[in-house]
Structure 1
Amino acid sequence: MSSDNQAWVPEACTLPSVQRPLRLAEFDDLFATALREQQRLSPTDLRWRLDSAAETTARDLTDRESSCCSFFTFTLAADAGTLRLDVQVPAAYVDVLDALAQRAAAGLTA
């Protein structure tokens, strides 16, 4: 999925359209530089393991994302030398989580 394909971004997202490509680029950068592992725990739950050096970036990014897309729940915790980032969405937003998981997978293979 290219960063300009935003068909999966729900109407519930209040981030102005002009800023969405920039936010996607921030997630793509986090995935490319810090993502070590991705696990799908359930249809509505995703877990990422990030390089612990990315904690400040991950906290800032997830805080900003939560403020415009209130359906996301992000939980960060230190875990066995890495940073664990759990992402949860209500069932109505599984397609959004699917799209985010695809972007993360692309970052793992980049």
Structure 2
Amino acid sequence: MSTTNWATEACTLPTADQPLRVAEFDALFAEHLKGAARVNPTTLDLSLAAEAHASAADLTARETECCSFFRFELTPLGDDRLRLRIGVPPAHVGVLDALSARLPR
């Protein structure tokens, strides 16, 4: 699976819109990512700047509409950070791998 197109057959987002969605995730990561930890093969925790809450909530809600296998959980951490926990079922670990590969190093 390419890191530029991590959508699967389970994704209902029109193909033409998929690069735009990837770009939205890239922007969220570039502007607000403070850290990342792979909890296990099916779970990724991202630490984001707290001001990203509204945009992260909107983006993850829209992503869940087209890729229902994703599980997103936003948790304020109280120290100007926000945890975005991203989970997938075992059958979609490759999607989480590709999403993880897009994180800035």
Gaps of 5+ in 1: none
1:83 is displaced (CA, Å) by 0.5
- Match of 1:32, SS? helix
- Match of 2:102, SS? helix
TM-score of the aligned structures, taking structure 2 as reference length = 0.93
Identity %: 50
Pair 1:58 & 2:76 matched: no
1:80 is displaced (CA, Å) by 3.6
Gaps of 5+ in 2: none
TM-score of the aligned structures, taking structure 1 as reference length = 0.89
Pair 1:92 & 2:86 matched: no
Alignment deviations for residues 4-46 of structure 1 (CA, whole Å, 9 cap, x no partner): x32x421000000000010000000000000000000000000
Structure 1 counterpart of 2:12, from 10, 14, 31:
14
The number of equivalent residue pairs is 103
Q: Which residue of 2 aligns with 1:34?
A: 32
Give the superposed CA RMSD: 1.3
Q: Which runs of 4+ in 1 moved over 4 A?
A: none
